[in-house]
Amino acid sequence: MIKKFIQRLFGQGESATATSATAAAPAVPVIPLGARAEIAAAEHRIDPKLLDANAVRVVRTLKDAGYEAYVVGGAVRDLLVGLRPKDFDVATDATPEQVKALFRRAFIIGRRFRLVHVVFGRGREHETIEVSTFRAYLDAAAAEQVAGNERTSKSQIAQAGEKQHVVDAEGRVLRDNVWGPQIEDAARRDFTINAMYFDPVTQTVVDYHGGLADARARVLRMIGDPVTRYREDPVRILRVVRFAAKLGFGLETATEAPVRAMVPLLANVPISRLFDEMIKLLQTGHALASLEQMKRFGLVGGGTPIFPVLEAALGGSGSAAAARATFVRLALEDTDRRVGEGRPVAPSFLLACLLWHDVQERWTALKAQGEAPFPALQQAVDAVFDARIGDISGRGKLAADMREIWLMQPRFDRRTPSGAHSLAAQARFRAGYDFLRLRADAGETRSDLADWWEDFHLGNEEEREALLADVKPAASGPRARRGAAGAPAAAGDEREGTDDDHTGEAPTDGEAADPAAPRKRRRRRRRGPRPDGGAAPTTLE
């Protein structure tokens, strides 16, 4: 048994590892290793124009150094269905240290799964190609077992010494750094459509589990026993939802059957990882479809609070819940439209939309208790963020961006000269302005207020002065004086704004102003589909 384990640890032959895999305890389902099939370009018909030059460069460098290397996983799946992959991952038989030695800017990351990030370019335009080493298939019987998750079991995992394969009491893999041959690496992957390897040099697809046939049949099928695979990594449940929504694939019966029963296993996954998966579900261009799939499998509204943000955004009953649902639907539609048009989206903006009504409810309650409006809003923002977001990576930046969007909303009511110019000059103005447009579209605030800020936002100095003159009589009363002092509007006057760009970058206006020309109202609001069937314009650029 020890000899077999050592053979597997060092990847000494596929036949040896296959024997050791099947030699496990008979009570534990074993993942089938499959059979290697090489598919030529004439059959798979992948368009080379969809390939990423840096991913090809990584593969070629590894092959030139004498290693096997392939584009792998979701990138191959997307290429086969004619989509341009968002990310390209590479798999190789080189160890992380060997990969790192071949590239000038390469970094070994991760403890749970050791990977190499090969970085091309710098700044905001940089690209990262993730390179993984072929891993061996080891069942739970060959692993060190601990309780808890990655965070709560750190000391136990450390006490495991050199053990590189660790699982928890439920069979969830906490560490997996045992290298092996490609045939076992393919068996470890979750779905058949994600277990294919593409060599861009020879234009060959390597398929062990019929992934090409399933991709063409638009079927999502788990490799091996679905219950065992969900226990190894419950996040696979969320991947089922994401792929079904994104690709429109149906679920194979055995893959779908245990999903609802496995949902409680997600409670032991670290909140930061669940948060990242939620963002993927909502920001891949199929948010509405993903939400429907989540409801279908009990991930939202099913009694197990997997995603506190979504439970807060979609909970409640009556007219308040209906208004909340309308606003959330518009925000998700807006996000899907933006992703579909190839423009960036910011998690902070979408999360601000999902939690806005939660903030409003707490704000109202605090004001009813006698708290001053602006401090009440600040307290409500802090309480909602702590309760719904929690301790996640990037929390500080996320909190700052969401806070700016929310705290900006009452200021849109105070259209005084100094206040309007100051607000429009803020770095996050465009995000707050987009927020206002969504609220106006949802009927939550006056459309004419959103129109005014849209004109002010796009206008030249003369047009801005005219707009301010239009509201000057209304701005001379007590409310304006309160606004000039920096206090928020009274209850019921909290108006919000939406902006052209969730990233918060300053807008540009390429049109030169003609002082002699009459003032024009230049709007970029969303409209319905054009008669010619073209895409509707949008404020999000």
Active site residues: 87, 89, 190
For residue 330, give the amino acid letter.
Answer: L
Which residue is listed with tokens 């041959």? 181
State the helix-helix crossing angle for 14-22 and 2-9, rounded to 10 degrees. Answer: 130
Are 332 and 354 within 8 A, CB to CB?
A: no
Angle, alpha carbons 415-420-424 (nearest 5°)? 140
Which residue is listed with tokens 């080379």? 48
Distance CA 77, CA 73 (A): 7
- At 173 the three-state DSSP class reads strand
Are 148 and 172 within 8 A, CB to CB?
A: no
Are 203 and 153 within 8 A, CB to CB?
A: no
| Residue partners of 427: CB distance under 8 A and separation at least 6 | 504, 506
Edge-first strand order for the sheet with 165-167 is 144-145, 165-167, 173-176
Which residue is listed with tokens 């072929």? 134
Distance CA 491, CA 363 (A): 10
> What is the DSSP secondary structure assignment for residue 32, as one 8-state letter?
-
Query: Encoding tokens for residue 152?
Result: 């709560």
- At 18 the three-state DSSP class reads helix
Q: Hey, what's the torsion of the CAs at 193, 82, 119, 234, to 10 degrees?
A: -30
Determine if residue 229 is left, alpha or beta; phi over 0 gives left, psi from -120 to 50 gives alpha, anything else beta: alpha
For residue 159, give the amino acid letter.
Answer: Q
The residue among 466, 444, 442 whose CA lies nearest residue 455 is 466
Query: Encoding tokens for residue 440?
Result: 């106006």
Q: What is the DSSP string of 478-493?
A: HHHHHHHTTPPPPTT-
Per DSSP bridges, beta strands 106-109 and 196-199 are unpaired
Distance CA 470, CA 465 (A): 9
Per DSSP bridges, beta strands 106-109 and 127-133 are unpaired
Distance CA 60, CA 70 (A): 9
Which residue is listed with tokens 């707009």? 467
